[in-house]
Amino acid sequence: MKVTVVGAGAVGASCAEYIAIKDFASEVVLVDIKEGFAEGKAMDLMQTASLNGFDTKITGVTSDYSKTVGSDICVITSGIPRKPGMTREELIGINAGIVKSVSASLIEQSPNTIIIVVSNPMDTMTYLVHKTTGLPKNRIIGMGGALDSARFKYRLAEAVGAPISDVDGMVIGGHSDTGMVPLTRLATRNSVPVSHLISDDRLNQVKEDTKVGGATLTKLLGTSAWYAPGAAVSGLVQAIACDQKKMFPCSTFLEGEYGLNDLCIGVPVILGKNGIESIVEIELNDAEKAHMQESAAGVSKTNALLEL
């Protein structure tokens, strides 16, 4: 199993580290446009191998996509990060050009690869890859819902006073502060609805804190987060590489599912060796449907800014 990660910044390097530590891939290739940067990150990570007990080979290259040939899974994290006060949507002009160029270079070397898009605005960048590469929809996956759901579970556990392993919950919709749809109605602690354990006001606060999870960290850190995004990507990669058939909310191209068409947005999917094995349609109530429609309208508005 060979995995390529384009963009050796904080998110890309964290992704490579988590993949290596899980030790399911034979090789991880880090690619970056900055001279020597990916090589340095790869060397630093390889010097942790004996300490962390993994055998995955990590190599770094500067814009040499020939080294990525035969990659089973490619992760695109490249692009400029969010700055304080900047929305994901404001990134579109610069990052669209980067993602389009990178995806073309990757597919040239690995035509059978599965692409995971992390670059923001993620739903629109996933849509861009779908529209410009010709890859089947099951092999184009946007990472957003997995991260948003992890942040949701963090807030749920905090509110309930439980270990995170006790709680479960999912966020669907667009990967943006206004587009997320945290499914509070379906959140549980060991099968007990969380709504039975905390007040409606507290649960609503959990939802709102989840929706601004990324912006909160950007304000604190001065840049985008990286540990949780890297871990989220590694979870998706492992589910595909190991054919785990796990369910994650991911941005995928919809053709009528959830009443939506011609856009990529976060919905539950089953991930396995073929990428997206199936889309899972869950029954939403009227309020959730309305929020999903609003989220989709926002994503479509951003998509309209693309020059396809």
Q: Quote the pTM value.
A: 0.95
* Cis amide leading into 121 (omega within 30): yes
Task: Report the alpha-carbon distance of residue 188 to residue 285 in Å, rounded.
Answer: 17
Q: Is 291 among the catalytic positions? A: no
Per-residue pLDDT tens digits of the chain, which is 308 residues long: 999 999 999 999 999 999 999 999 999 999 999 999 999 999 999 999 999 999 999 999 999 999 999 999 999 999 886 667 766 567 788 899 999 999 999 999 999 999 999 998 999 999 999 999 999 999 999 999 999 999 999 999 999 999 999 999 999 999 998 999 999 999 999 999 999 999 999 999 999 999 999 999 989 998 889 999 999 999 999 999 999 999 999 999 999 999 999 999 999 999 999 999 999 999 999 999 999 999 999 999 999 989 87
Task: Report the alpha-carbon distance of residue 283 to residue 270 in Å, rounded.
Answer: 17
Which burial class, exposed, middle or buried, applies to 248 when counting CB atoms under 10 A from its CB (0-12, 13-18, 19+)? Answer: buried
3-state secondary structure 51-116: HHCCCCEEEEEECCHHHHCCCCEEEECCCCCCCCCCCCHHHHHHHHHHHHHHHHHHHHHCCCCEEE
Nearest to 147 by CA among 69, 236, 64: 236
User: DSSP letter at 282?
Assistant: P
Task: Report the alpha-carbon distance of residue 286 to residue 129 in Å, rounded.
Answer: 32
Nearest to 233 by CA among 117, 151, 122, 125: 117
**Tokens linked to 120:** 């923001």
Task: Report the alpha-carbon distance of residue 256 to residue 249 in Å, rounded.
Answer: 17
CB proximity list for 252: less than 8 A, separation 6 or greater: 126, 137, 140, 141, 142, 264, 265, 267, 269, 276, 279
User: DSSP letter at 254?
Assistant: E
